[in-house]
Structure 1
Amino acid sequence: MKVLEIMTRLPVATSPAARLLDAAEAMLSANVSALPVVSGDQLVGIITEGDLMRRWEAGTDRKYPGFATVKVGVEKMAADFVRSHGGYVRELMTKNCVSVDEETLIEDAIRLFERHGFKQLPVTSGKKFSGIITRRNILESFVRNARRISQEEHSDEDIKRAILAIYTREPWAPLAHIDLCVRDGVVEILGDVEAETQRQAVVAAAEGVPGVKRVVDHLSSKAGDNERKD
């Protein structure tokens, strides 16, 4: 799946010449934590709620008493003053921000979210700004697909085959030491595992297969050698 399939097109955006107050109010009105900054049809940056945390209007601007001014230096203090007192988006926005193309795979976009801790990424088509992809977009995609899959019919044999396929391809799965029975969507798993985390993975694999109503865990773990029935 590609970014263009789940992204938000024509999201709320701002311009470098916009006043910060207007941008902040736009974020609140749209219930978003960031706004792409667009000039013409070109993405030129992004401004986030984090950029507005240190503002003199709220009394949260940085202050450097005494010898702190020597330690911090003129350049840093001046930059902080701009961030706390500047009135326009161009003064606080992040230029050359990370973005993705519409044709980017969702998996690659998720890696960027994870690596940088982003909540959203601007999307471009060629050099033109075209939208934004957010964690919410990915969550909505999960819900849509999960609901669709849950409504499909799955026989016990289909379920068993799908679970065994997971155990076969996953290196952590002790395929030779486990067995399972599926009846009316209820999966019973028997056998031995090396560790509790391995038990959890074996059970989670079965729970995630479409058509499974419940998993009954009869596994024995060498770590605790206990049996749990759910």
Structure 2
Amino acid sequence: MLAQTIMTTPVVTVDPAASIAAAVELMLSKKISCLPVLGTDGTLAGIISEGDFLRRGELGIQRTRAHWLEFLVGPGRIAEEYVRANGRRVEEVMTTDVVSAPPSASLAQIVELMARHDIKNVPIVERGKLFGIITRSDLLRALVRVLPKTGATTADDELIRRSVVAELQSQCWSGGDLLGVTVDNGAVELNGAIFDERQRKAAVVAAENVAGVKAIKDSLFCAEPFSMVLVS
């Protein structure tokens, strides 16, 4: 799945010269968490988000430091923080180094950008022009579309059994052939040995994700490591 298939478009944007008050009111009225900022030529100039309002002076929540720490931080950094806390225009507080992606980016690449940069929104840009935006809500909507619906898919018991076994054997945590699977009218029973209770939950999840599974019975038993004795 590509970025262009799930991105939100058209995008609600704001002008760099707009007031902070106007930007906040727009975000609240549209129920969105960020606003891409477009320059006069239509290219992406920056982005302003809820995080940019966490240290506003009006609320008395601007960053404060002891004087000796201010000396260590330096006047440039402190001046920048002052602008963010007291600026009146979008261009004064927006983030200009915007993390973006092209329409052809995969969802895996989008999620990696969000995780690496600790951001919630990724503008979709090509040749400097804004095509859309992907938020965490867009990812959730995409997830809902692909999650299997309960009872929506049917499969015969042997196909289900083979599918569950294949999934378990493909996972390094499963212990290979130590887990057994039986299926009766779509109801899966898991049996065999595990050595860590966390394997139990993982095995149930693996079975849940197989098409046609209607119910799961957990008959797994947890054995202490090295408690199994081999008899020659």
Output the TM-score relative to the length of structure 2: 0.87
Instruction: Answer with 98-107 or 200-209: which moved more.
Output: 200-209
Q: Does 1:99 align with 2:100?
A: yes
5+ residue gaps in structure 1? 226-230
The alignment-based identity, stated in percent, is 36
Q: Does 1:85 align with 2:86?
A: yes
Change (3 A) 1:150 1:25: farther
Q: How far off is 1:149 after superposition?
A: 7.8
Q: Distance in 2 between matches of 1:79 and 1:50?
A: 15
Q: Does 1:194 align with 2:195?
A: yes
| Contact 2:151/2:214, CA 8 A, preserved across alignment | no
The answer for the alignment partner of 1:7 in structure 2 is: 7
Change (3 A) 1:72 1:127: closer
The answer for the alignment partner of 2:230 in structure 1 is: none
Change (3 A) 1:71 1:108: closer
Instruction: Answer with 72-81 or 125-134: which moved more.
Output: 72-81
| Contact 1:196/1:223, CA 8 A, preserved across alignment | no
| Contact 1:149/1:210, CA 8 A, preserved across alignment | no
Match of 1:133, SS state, is strand
Give the number of aligned pairs. Answer: 225
The answer for the alignment partner of 1:130 in structure 2 is: 131
Instruction: Answer with 111-120 or 185-194: which moved more.
Output: 111-120
The answer for the alignment partner of 2:166 in structure 1 is: 165
Q: Distance in 2 between matches of 1:163 and 1:214?
A: 13
| Contact 1:47/1:93, CA 8 A, preserved across alignment | yes
Output the TM-score relative to the length of structure 1: 0.88
User: Structure 2 counterpart of 1:21, which letter?
Assistant: A
The answer for the alignment partner of 2:26 in structure 1 is: 26
The answer for the alignment partner of 1:184 in structure 2 is: 185
Q: Distance in 2 between matches of 1:25 and 1:147?
A: 39
User: Structure 2 counterpart of 1:82, which letter?
Assistant: V
Change (3 A) 1:67 1:193: closer
Match of 2:77, SS state, is helix
C-alpha RMSD of the superposition: 2.2
| Contact 2:192/2:219, CA 8 A, preserved across alignment | yes
5+ residue gaps in structure 2? 228-232
| Contact 1:15/1:37, CA 8 A, preserved across alignment | yes
Deviations 1:65-88 (A, max 9, x none): 665554544323322221122111
Change (3 A) 1:206 1:64: closer
Q: Distance in 2 between matches of 1:149 and 1:126?
A: 43
Change (3 A) 1:150 1:20: farther
The answer for the alignment partner of 1:35 in structure 2 is: 35
